Amino acid sequence: MALSDDELDRYARHIVLPQVGGAGQLRLKDARIAIVGAGGIAGGVLPALVGAGIGHLTIIDDDRVELSNLQRQPIYGSDQIGERKSDLAARFAGKRNPHVKVRAIVDRIDIDNADAILSGHDLVFDGTDNFATRLIVNDASFRLGIPLISAAAQQFQGQVALFRGRPCYRCFVGDAFDADDCDTCAELGVLGALTGTIGNFAALMAIRALVGIGPDAAGTLHLFDGLSLSWKQLRISADLSCRTCGETS
Ligand SMILES: [Zn+2]
């Protein structure tokens, strides 16, 4: 696999970075990433990954654009209300970078389809808004041995973490939310610019992990507070009794 003249020009500011270079750019081109949820977090993740030249993206979402989404979901327009987000996100990506192969899956991840949808990817992004889906995505990623970047934003707080094996996302949140859809974003609110900040940070983590830049970020929770404008890092402990990655699972 090689980079065309168009790609060499397009990614010139990457390639000149010693930590990326031509070899790193080829790694990005070779990568397959699944993006679960095409909402606000994806609005930060998608433009960055598409611009970076990730070779294959799968976008999974069954929602349609609503008027109240536009405050924090910048890849959609007022003239697209009612249209399928996954299709629109794929169209957005294709227009932004024709070298990226995008597949839109109009579906909701569940226990029955998660393994089939996510297998074959090098990285999974979860930007969904409910714990039940997040735990299903976590469990499938763990089973399939695929690193997972989980990102969320609410009110003025955002969090992002990369999970690779143990500890997993379930170690972090526990089982409490397994049965319920705990989506409280609609009730509690979220600052529109926050989802983009968190999504963009998550894309940076993905690019670092794929190219192999800097220390490994797996197992560290990155918390952003939009009120104090500060980032905090916390180590996530492995839960020995975790149903997903624990010793008895
Ligand atoms: Zn675990």
Ligand 1 centre to CA of 206 (Å) is: 20
Ligand 1 centre to CA of 168 (Å) is: 4
80: nearest Cα among 62, 67, 93, 98: 67
Q: How far apart are CA 151 and CA 170, in angstroms?
A: 14
- pLDDT tens for each residue of 59-111: 999 999 999 999 999 999 999 999 999 999 999 999 999 999 999 999 999 99
Q: Assess whether pLDDT exceeds 60 at residue 249.
A: no
- pLDDT tens for each residue of 197-209: 999 999 999 999 9
Computed over every residue of the chain, the mean pLDDT equals 94
Q: What is the dihedral of CA 154, 156, 157, 162, to 10 degrees?
A: 80
The rounded percent of the chain whose pLDDT value lies above 70 is: 95
Residue 247's pLDDT is what? 79
Ligand 1 centre to CA of 154 (Å) is: 23
Ligand 1 centre to CA of 241 (Å) is: 8
Q: Which residue has the tokens 């926050």?
A: 194
How does DSSP classify residue 218? B
219: nearest Cα among 204, 234, 240: 234
- pLDDT tens for each residue of 181-235: 445 556 789 999 999 999 999 999 999 999 999 999 999 999 999 999 999 999 9
- pLDDT tens for each residue of 8-65: 999 999 999 999 999 999 999 999 999 999 999 999 999 999 999 999 999 999 999 9
Ligand 1 centre to CA of 196 (Å) is: 27
Ligand 1 centre to CA of 178 (Å) is: 14
The DSSP element (H or E) to which 187 belongs, if any, is: helix 185-188
Please, what's the b/e burial string for 7-28 (b: 16 or more CB within 10 A of its CB; e: otherwise)? beebbeebbeeeebeeebbbbb
Q: How far apart are CA 205 and CA 198, in angstroms?
A: 11
Q: Can you tell me whether residue 146 is helix, strand or coil? A: coil
Q: How far apart are CA 19 and CA 155, in angstroms?
A: 35
Ligand 1 centre to CA of 29 (Å) is: 30
Please, which pLDDT band fits residue 178 given cuts at 50, 70 and 90?
A: low
Number of H helices, E strands in the chain: 10, 8
**Mean pLDDT, residues 122-141:** 95
Ligand 1 centre to CA of 119 (Å) is: 19
